[in-house]
Amino acid sequence: MNESGGRVFLGVDPGTASTGFGVISLAGNRLRALEFGVVQTAAGVPLEERLEHIFHEVRELLQRHQPAATAVESLFFNANVRTALAVGHARGVTLLACSQAGCAVFEYTPQQVKQAVVGYGKASKEQVMEMVRVLLGLPEAPRPDHAADALGVAICHANTCGMRESVARSQAREGRRQAGDVQRQSAN
């Protein structure tokens, strides 16, 4: 919980040229965008400098918003190995920044994000962008698309974290009940 009046989540759509980010708050069942955009790096800059820039920008977002968790789009393997490696590098420095900040990280596939945001795992990019706009009450769809994707990942986590916490509470209650049963049996 922070000054936004709700739990804050950071969503990240990693990429070396353009890493999308979206910070949202969840208060009750209301979602609100706090900040979104992209961290861009120039193609002619050495890879290590580009990664350092992404790392510093993500670290700054973590310090500024202090999210309860970070949701990252998981690595999607396609035919282009170069693209997969570049995304993996950006993802790695994002995970490092989160680890150093003590921020829990959760990963979601593109299909999970689409299902959580649109209700259909094969939704188009335009459908996702429009539903992100609607869910966050934005006047227009967030641009660029990497920022919209990052907001979608954050929304996906916000929609699933309540369920995850409910399951954990239920498991804890069941564990306490079972421990009580064992104590009663040993007392008899």
Q: What digits encode the pLDDT tens for the residues 24-52?
A: 999 988 999 999 999 999 999 999 999 99
Q: For residue 188, what pLDDT band results from cuts at 50, 70 and 90?
A: low
Number of domain units in the chain: 1
pLDDT the model gives residue 113: 95
In a domain, 11, yes or no: yes
What CATH number should be reported for the domain holding residue 44? Answer: 3.30.420.10
Residue of higher predicted confidence among 163 and 127: 127
pLDDT the model gives residue 138: 97
For 34, the domain range is 7-187
pLDDT, tens digit, 9 for 90 and up, residues 63-116: 999 999 999 998 766 657 777 787 889 999 999 999 999 999 999 999 999 999
Q: Regarding beta strands 69-73 and 104-108, do their DSSP bridges make them parallel or antiparallel, or are they unpaired?
A: parallel
In a domain, 2, yes or no: no
In a domain, 178, yes or no: yes
In a domain, 124, yes or no: yes
In a domain, 183, yes or no: yes
pLDDT the model gives residue 162: 66
Query: Against a cut of 0.75, is the pTM above it?
Result: yes
Residue 166 CA: distances (Å) to CA of 160, 170, 173: 10, 6, 11
Lookup result for tokens 């490696």? 85
pLDDT the model gives residue 1: 45
For residue 44 the two structure tokens come to 């002619």
In a domain, 75, yes or no: yes
In a domain, 1, yes or no: no
| Cα distance between residue 34 and residue 9, in whole Å | 10
Share of the chain above pLDDT 70, in %: 82
pLDDT, tens digit, 9 for 90 and up, residues 130-176: 999 999 999 999 999 999 999 999 999 999 886 655 555 566 677 66
